[in-house]
């Protein structure tokens, strides 16, 4: 046997490497991207046309965000995920610098009461808090997957380190303030520590700290006025009838008006009348509820379920503790953000301004979500390596 033939058998071809991607995960994400693009267009085209602007303005930018996201997802798969351990401090450091930058006067931009964006040329904006989710997940995965020679579970010191590297970004995000992102990151942190095998008292302690911290944030004025009003509207929709209470009522009306099969794509009266503010971003699911109805909305939830199930399967099959922890972090992130977005749309959760993954308009969220999918595909492709 020649050496060239032996080398060819040992080294997989590009085609076989691409075949290592999870097809169900790929199709489910692709389906959500397509549906989300149609819903963004439905939510914006009539209103923009009515004021004499380009009705395709938002959908064009949304399509650009998707293309960039696909590029980032593919780029994430090019490097073996196990090598991310070496780059984790750099990624974490850059994310912290980005979170600090938005707090600097003249650098950060304030939108809806939160100073969380950095303006870029061409009218684009970047939200460092979204990308910080990735840094925290791989940072915790690195710490919690390390094992001493005489133990299988993380030590108290390991858990303390993990909490320290997540606490700094969380505090910076609180200063913006962006409570929705803090909730999502905190859920991922708790889930990863719980799955890592850490003592259960750590989980109980974190839950107590979260409850006490949330209560204290309201009492000492950490939350801005509009965030307090959102919480009040969740408890009593009549508390802020002109703003958050109005948005909540219109959201419920719009979702419920779709019935079983919906009003038809681009034919929703509530959507075309722009009765729900921020409908192309945080409240994109109201468009699905009205125009696609119960059946169309259920199909969207089915696609999300496929993504979570495939992520669970990837986590279960991989033998690498680091890869498993990354999967757990991404699963908790996607699942809690999905629950929070749908919950606030239907009045089951407070309005915290979090987008619906893969569907809402917004570049930073799309980029972070696609990087998360890239990590899952990376782990799946190399789990037998």
**180-225, pLDDT tens digit by residue?**
888 899 889 989 988 888 777 777 777 777 677 666 655 555 555 5
Domain-embedded: residue 195? yes
| Long-range pairs of 181-186 with CB within 8 A, sequence gap ≥ 24 | 181/129, 181/130, 181/132, 181/133, 181/354, 183/336, 183/340, 183/352, 183/354, 184/133, 184/333, 184/336, 184/337, 184/340, 184/354, 185/132, 185/133, 185/136, 185/333, 186/210
Q: Give the pLDDT of residue 332.
A: 95
pLDDT for residue 241 is more than 60: no
Q: Residue 170 pLDDT more than 70?
A: yes
Cβ pair 189, 166 in contact under 8 A: yes
Q: Is residue 197 helix, strand or coil?
A: coil
Residue 243's pLDDT is what?
56
Query: Distance between terminal CA atoms of the chain?
Result: 24
Q: pLDDT value at position 200?
A: 76
* Cβ proximity of 347 and 252 under 8 Å: yes
Query: What average pLDDT score do residues 40-69 get?
Result: 86
Answer yes or no: is 131 within a domain.
Answer: yes
pLDDT at 86 over 70: yes
**Average pLDDT of span 98-110:** 84
- Residue 34 included in any domain: no
Q: Look at residue 199 in the predicted model and tell me its pLDDT.
A: 75
Mean pLDDT, range 373-383, rounded to an integer? 91
Domain that holds residue 301: 52-382
Q: What is d(CA 76, CA 368) in angstroms, rounded to the nearest whole number? A: 11
Q: Would you say residue 16 lies in a domain? A: no
- Domain total of the chain: 1
Q: What's the rounded mean pLDDT across residues 136-141?
A: 92
Residue 11 covered by a domain: no
In a domain, residue 33? The reply is: no
In a domain? residue 4:
no
More confident residue, 107 or 2: 107
The rounded distance, in Å, linking the Cα atoms of 55 and 49 is 5
Please give the share of the chain, as a percent, with pLDDT higher than 70: 82
- Residue 176 counted as domain residue: yes
């Amino acid at each position: 046997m020649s050496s060239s033939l032996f080398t060819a058998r040992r080294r997989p071809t590009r085609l076989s490497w691409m075949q290592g991607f999870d097809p169900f995960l790929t199709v489910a994400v692709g389906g959500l991207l397509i549906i989300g693009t149609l819903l963004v267009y439905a939510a914006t085209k009539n209103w923009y046309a009515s004021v004499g602007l380009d009705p395709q303005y938002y959908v064009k930018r949304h399509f650009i965000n998707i293309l960039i996201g696909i590029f980032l997802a593919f780029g994430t798969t090019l490097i073996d995920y196990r090598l991310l351990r070496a780059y984790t401090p750099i990624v974490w450091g850059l994310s912290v610098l980005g979170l600090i930058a938005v707090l600097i006067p003249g650098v950060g931009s304030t939108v809806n009461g939160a100073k969380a964006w950095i303006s870029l040329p061409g009218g684009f904006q970047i939200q460092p808090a979204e990308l910080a989710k990735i840094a925290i997940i791989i940072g915790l995965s690195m710490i919690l997957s390390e094992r001493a020679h005489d133990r299988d579970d993380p030590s108290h010191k390991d858990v303390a380190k993990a909490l320290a590297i997540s606490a700094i970004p969380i505090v910076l995000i609180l200063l913006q303030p962006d409570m929705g992102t803090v909730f999502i990151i905190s859920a991922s942190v708790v889930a990863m520590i719980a799955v890592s095998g850490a003592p259960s008292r750590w989980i109980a302690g974190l839950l107590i700290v979260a409850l006490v911290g949330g209560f204290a944030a309201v009492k000492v004025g950490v939350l801005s006025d509009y965030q307090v009003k959102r919480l009040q509207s969740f408890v009593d929709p009549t508390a802020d009838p002109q703003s958050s209470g109005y948005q909540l009522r219109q959201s419920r009306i719009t979702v419920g008006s779709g019935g079983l099969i919906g009003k038809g794509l681009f034919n929703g009266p509530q959507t075309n009348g722009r009765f729900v503010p921020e409908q192309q971003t945080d409240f994109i699911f109201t468009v699905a509820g009205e125009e696609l109805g119960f059946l169309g909305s259920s199909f969207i939830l089915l696609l999300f379920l496929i993504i979570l199930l495939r992520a669970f399967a990837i986590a279960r099959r991989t033998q690498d503790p680091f890869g498993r922890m990354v999967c757990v972090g991404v699963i908790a992130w996607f699942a809690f953000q999905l629950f929070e977005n749908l919950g606030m749309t239907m009045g089951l959760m407070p309005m915290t301004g979090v987008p619906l993954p893969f569907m809402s308009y917004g570049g930073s969220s799309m980029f972070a979500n696609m990087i998360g999918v890239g990590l899952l595909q990376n782990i799946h492709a190399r789990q037998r390596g």
